[in-house]
Structures are given as structure tokens and as C-alpha cells.
Structure 1
Amino acid sequence: MGLESLFLFTLLGGMAAGAYAFETCFQRTRTGERPWLVPLVIVVLFAVGMIAASTHVQSIPRALASVSAGTVNFGSGMVKEVAASGIFFVLVIVDLIITLAKKNSPFALRVVAAVVAVVCMVLMATAYVDVYGNAVWSNAPATVLSFFAGDLAMGLGLCAVLGSVDVTKKPALYALLIVDAALAIGLALEVAAFGGQGASPVTQVVGLVVAPVASAALALAASKLENKKMLAIAMCALLVIGVAIARYAFYATCAM
């Protein structure tokens, strides 16, 4: 497994980080019969993403050995990304443990973890801007905006599915429309970047239509829909599928 491992890490890990950031913004106190559900799902998604990412260097022991041997460039974007990811993962595990024990967790802890989540999402994007020889990856506005907005959009969709955010209410709806607009701009910039390097931009166009455009249209039509659960699932599916299509094509440009 090569770039597919990084694809899974940024897709699943990015969605988990985005969900944590939005849950913290919209839920100061966790309530309901399953207050542990959101942190549990985030831990699982992020863990799967990190395990997938470890296969990019063949194994977790090999990755740890490279650190202990002093062969890692701690100034590189990818190393910073890994460090931020590790910190975020530990904080969310602590959050989950406390929530399981006390049905809630300190809001201050969640704020710190949410800030780290945002840093993690940004580093997931900027790590590729440093890669020379790939003009699509090093296009900072396109890469950073499409990654960051995509992670936030998927995260908000996941929060809606898990019931911690109601996109039929104005605050969440406005947040969705804003991140969808940012994602649309990012993917439009990627369309231009793909075209500029002689690569087909069809996948990015499809991603743009499926993720930000279709999900925003669905959310705006929410007032006419009675089943909020199905709305959330459909919206989240559109966002994940659209971002996945565009991001997989992004990684595929490495073979150009």
C-alpha cells in the first residue's frame, strides 16, 4: 500500500478531526443516552487512518525506528503532521475515557483538542505543498483549501449523522454553506491546477458537483424534508464521496 495509505489517513483522519472541531463548537456539554458516541467514532476513524498511514513506511516498528535513529527531518511538513496527529489522538482518547466514566468531559480539554484538530487538518494539507516536482500538490491555495474545507465539510456531515449537529437550524446550516463554498473554491482551483499540468480535471469537477454543490442544495431543501436522519446520512454520504473522488485523483497525480 503506497499513496492509498495516505489517502485513507487524510480522508478518515481529516473527517474525524473536522467532526471533533464542529462538535466542540456546537455542543458545549454532551447530553443524551450516548454522550460517548462522538468521541468513540472519532477515535476509531482516526485510529484506522493512522494505521493505514503507517503502512506508507511498511510498518509501525519501522516508523518508530526511524525516529529513534535520528533519521527523521523534524522540520518537514509530514513529520509535523504526524506529531500533531499523535497529540490529537491522545487528547481524544483521554476525552473518551473521561466521558465514559463521567458522561461528559471538561470543555477546556475539548477546546484544546479542537484547536489541535484544526492544526492537524491544516498540516495534512500543507505537508504536500512542500513536495517538489508535483505542480498540482505544490499549488498551495488549491491544496490547502480543498483539504481543509473538505475535512471540515465531512466532519460536519458526520456530526449531523451522529446527532450532535442539526443542519436544519441556521447556525449549522450557515456553517455548512460556508465550508461548502470554501470547498467549491478549492476544488475549482484544483480543476485549474489539473488542467495546467495536462491532467484531466473531470474527477475534480465530479467531486465539486457531488460534495459542496449537491450537499448545499440538499441542506437548503431540508425544510421540505421530514426525516432529518435520512437527510443527515444523505448529506454526509455526498460530502464523503465527493471529497474522496477528488482527493484520490489528487494523490494519483503523483504518478504523472
Structure 2
Amino acid sequence: MNKFKAYVRKNIVFVSILSVFLVIILGIGIFYITQNQGTTKPAKDPTASDKTPVKKETNISSFSGHFNGEDSINLIWSVDEQKAKVQRLELYYNKNILADVSSLLSYELPLSTYQLTTGTNKFVLKAYLSDGKVITKEADVAVDYVLSPSNTLTPSGDGFLLNFSYKFGTANPVGIPSISYTYGSKGNAAAAKVVYRTTTTNTLDSIFTQAKTEYFLDTSKLADGDYSLNIRYFFKNVDESYDFTIDFTVKKNSGEPNGSANPQPSETPSDENSNTDENQ
């Protein structure tokens, strides 16, 4: 201990300078540590979400429709109402208002009543909100180009008259249907022949036209008996077809033949043993 004191006395200047350096280094170290502690970011909670919650706004969540296959279009919709309330809901067609549907979730539109046509019909649902905004949503509904198809079979001479009746949109002509047929479940009608005769039309109003296409089913080369044919009428212009099954009886030795037609759609005829009249 005495030696240490003696060393310090002899080297007082050196020891003083060394002490100053140590104090400075210690001060710098303390300053650095305190500064880093002040700027260190807290550990991130892994369960916390980075995304700010999105405020949902009132919107028309769905709007669609379909043609019922007969004579009307059915529209349905839903509205997701948030802070802004729906004050009025209107249905439009071709920029014209059809109805105020504020209290409804669906609407049926007969084609003739609302002058809807074949092909694509565009509807707009418009909602007026309490915050002054107006939101809209569109729906396209396709209507068959050929409507109300029906088929009749009438005895005539050595065969039958096939009359195919249908409607179409006056603005969307469908042309004359071609006919193809295959043998049905009764008899072998390979010798039968179907020939196009004529098509007549009658304009019902500014929207629809009624048409009737007539064919002749020649059974003169068939033996007496019961037969059936699967008939398909095809509209090339609009790529639509309609199928029927006809049953008929040939009785050459007992007067006029007789027959009947099934007005309901039949199973799709196969291509095997098929015949076609293109009506050109």
C-alpha cells in the first residue's frame, strides 16, 4: 500500500491525466446508454393487426335476375345498410324508371306490360342514401329469342301437317327454323319424309311477332302401324333449338290416318338415323 502511495506521489501528473480520461470515457458511456434507452421502440405485439379497421359503407350487395321461360323476368336484390340509410330505391330500364321498390326485395316484370324484348335486357337499381350519396348496380337478363313454342300434328292426305308456332321479338327476327328428326320408340319410320312448306307471321304489337312454320310429314311409304319421331326445330340465327316427340298412326286401308303430338319438350334426339330439312 505504501509503495502504491509513493508511486502516485511520484507520478501525480500522469495519474491525474489518466483519471480525467477515465471519467470522460465513463461519462460518454453513460450518455450513450441513456440515449439508446430513450429511443428504443417497444416490442411489437405479434397479435396486433397492421391494418386500420375499414369503415363499411352502405352498398347494394347483390342484384340479379332471370327469365322464367314463359313471359316475365324476375329480379332480386339485397342492400347492405350501414350508417347511411336508404331513403329511396328505384328500378330503371333503358334509363326510364319502372318502379319505386323501396320496400321490396324482388320484382316481377311481364314482358308485354313493360315492353321488354328478347335478347339482353339491362336493368339498373338506384339507391338514394341519407348522406346525399346515390349508389347503383346493374343486372343483365337474357330472354330467349324464341318464345311460347308449340307443335301440332294434323292428318292431311298421305301424311300429316306439322305446325310449329312461336313468338319472337319484332326487333330481333329469328329466321325460319330448320327441322331434323330421328326415329322414336314406335315403329321404323325410315321411309317417312318431312318437307318444309311455308312460314306466316303476324305482328302482335310493337314488341312481339307471332309466327307459324308449316311442314308436311309424308307417310305414303310407311306400312300401317304406330310410329313416333323425335323432332327438333333449330333457329340458326340465334342458336336456339326446341324438341318435341310426335306419335302417329298410319291406317291406309281404313280411311284417313290419324296422329297426335306431344307439346312437351322431348329428350334431345340423337344424331343416329337423323334427317334434316334446311328450308333453303
Fold in common (TM above 0.5)? no
Give the TM-score normalised by structure 2: 0.25
Larger fraction in strand? 2
- Structure number with the higher helix fraction is 1
Q: Which has the higher contact order (CA 8 A, sep 6+)?
A: 1
Q: TM-score, normalised on structure 1?
A: 0.26
- Which of 1 and 2 has greater Rg? 2
